[in-house]
Amino acid sequence: MPLLSSFIDALFGTRCVLCRRLGPTCCNQCWVDLSFDPRRVARPAPDGSTLQGVAAIDFGPRVGALVHAFKESGLSVLAERFASAMAPLMFDFCAEMGISGQGTCFLVPVPSRVSSIQTRGFSPAAEIAGALTNLLEPRWGRRKFETPVRFAIARQWVWRAKESADQAGLDLRDRKQNLVDTMSASSSASNKRIILVDDIVTTGASLFETARALRSVGAEIVGFITFAETILKKMPKTPTR
């Protein structure tokens, strides 16, 4: 388990979110017992294109409990756990998307609503993107996860220009319309290769809008990576190699 997580858990006497035993916020046994099922993910965009990505696990009740604790109970340290399941997927995903070792690929977190950040004190996707970058590009020592490209995080390249309703309270149709034209992007993203980062993908509405904003300033969207995927009806899984 990452040293920072171990230190925080030991200092504050936390309990596992899933089994409630005193110890890490998600103990090693509960983590191992989760049904990890890495797979390629695709979501059809409103413009007829398809956004390609990868996810580590299905969004079931136990994963939902972890994500809720992470986002709504302030257990931001779980970002390191989530990132540890996502980092190993990057090699195959980059290779399949034709990403070579020339230049840098930027990890851009899907921005949260301003009101949500004010309530939580952090942006969930930004925490995961930061932890993922630290695993892929450690400041000290050798890279643990070899990928055909170098990575960097870009936290400020896209933001919410307009507030919107909480996606969690909407049906599938309203989710797709709720975020349209709500984000803006910096010209710093122009001509940069970008992989979007989020905690969960459901309809893909948040990813579509983030991609739209970045493309409007000339960014190249390679795809996305999320910790969990909510499987939509009539949408088959595509396992990773």
Please write the tens of the pLDDT for every residue from 15-59. 899 999 988 899 999 999 998 999 999 999 888 889 999 999 999
Same domain for 133 and 54: yes
pTM score: 0.86
Q: How confident is the model at residue 206 (pLDDT cuts 50, 70, 90)?
A: very high
Same domain for 23 and 42: no
Same domain for 19 and 73: no
CA dihedral (17, 20, 26, 30) positive or negative: negative
Whole-angstrom CA distances from 188 to 51, 153, 180, 191, 200 are: 22, 13, 22, 9, 26
Same domain for 126 and 69: yes
| pLDDT of 241 above 90 | no
For residues 79 and 123, give the distance between their C-alpha atoms in angstroms, rounded to a whole number.
Answer: 11
Contact 182, 160 (CB under 8 A): yes
Same domain for 198 and 112: yes
What is the total count of domains within the chain? 2
Secondary structure of residue 210 in the 3-state scheme: helix
Same domain for 232 and 216: yes
| pLDDT of 235 above 80 | no
Whole-angstrom CA distances from 137 to 3, 102, 152 are: 16, 16, 8
Same domain for 68 and 12: no
Same domain for 109 and 6: no
Q: How confident is the model at residue 6 (pLDDT cuts 50, 70, 90)?
A: low
Domain of 143, in residue numbers: 36-239
The number of angstroms, rounded, from the C-alpha of 179 to the middle of its chain's C-alpha atoms is 18
| pLDDT (tens digit per residue) in 170-188 | 555 655 566 678 899 999 9
| pLDDT of 86 above 50 | yes
